Amino acid sequence: MEKLSRGYRLFDATSQWLNVLVFNGEANYSMSGDAYRYKRTWFMRLVNFLFSWMEKEHCRLAYEADIQRAKNLLKEANQSV
């Protein structure tokens, strides 16, 4: 598995921390991913607009990335047993 850059990981960790602080969300979900998961429509519209220069449907893609990261961790844990 490819290791993500330090900057990306720092941004992602900050998003997870803010998700807990602002929305009382799950610590392993980014703000965008958690917004998609719980259908926080107003927040998804805002975030998708802010990230529209980079990708379409940012919140959905963030949610899918959060799920994939969890699957990778489970696979890694099962391989070490």
Domain ranges of the chain: 6-79
Q: Tell me: the pLDDT tens digits for 22-68?
A: 999 989 899 999 999 999 999 999 999 999 998 999 999 999 999 99
Q: Is the pLDDT of residue 77 over 60?
A: yes
Residue 66 class from Cβ within 10 Å (0-12 exposed, 13-18 middle, 19+ buried)?
buried
Phi-psi region of 39 (alpha: psi -120 to 50; beta: other; left: phi over 0): left
32 versus 2: the higher-pLDDT residue is 32
pTM of the model: 0.82
Distance CA 72, CA 32 (A): 20
Contact indicator for 62, 32 with CB cutoff of 8 Å: yes
